[in-house]
Amino acid sequence: MELYGLADARHYLTARAEVVDKDELFPHPILTVVPRPPQPIRVFRVKAYTIGYTLDVARTAYGQIGLGANATRYQYPALLNGFYDEHPHTVVVYLLGRLGSAMHHHHEMM
C-alpha cells in the first residue's frame, strides 16, 4: 500500500507498507558459498515500512526541483538476524525533479 499526499503547495508526504515473500535470499547469486549453513526454510516474509518527505525548493514553468528523504524500517524472521541486523533500516536523501507545471501536479493530487 502506498500513500502520497500534498501537505501544501511545497510539501509532499509519502508512506508505504510492503509485505513480500522473498525466495531469492539463498543461495546468493554472487557468492558461491553461503557464509552460514543453509536455512531450514527457503521463503521468508519480509515487511518494509517507509515514510518520506519532499520539499519543493525551486519552481519554474517547466517543473519543480525538490529535496527529500525516506526512512524505511524492515521486519523479517529472527532466523535472518545473523545475516542482516536485529534493527535493519535504510535512510535515503534525494534530489527530485518533476517535469510539468506546479498547477498540473497540484490538480493531480486532488
Reading the chain (110 residues) residue by residue, the pLDDT tens digits are 778 787 788 899 999 999 998 876 665 555 556 555 555 667 889 999 999 999 999 998 999 999 999 999 999 888 777 777 778 999 999 999 989 875 545 444 43
Whether residue 40 is preceded by a cis peptide bond, meaning omega within 30 degrees of 0, is: no
Whether this model's pTM surpasses 0.75: no
Which residues neighbour 78 within 8 Å (Cβ) at sequence distance 6 or greater? none
Report residue 79: phi and psi, to 5°.
Answer: -55, -25
Instruction: Read off the C-alpha cell for 79.
Output: 532466523
What order of strands is seen across the sheet that includes strand 89-99? 2-6, 11-22, 44-59, 63-75, 89-99
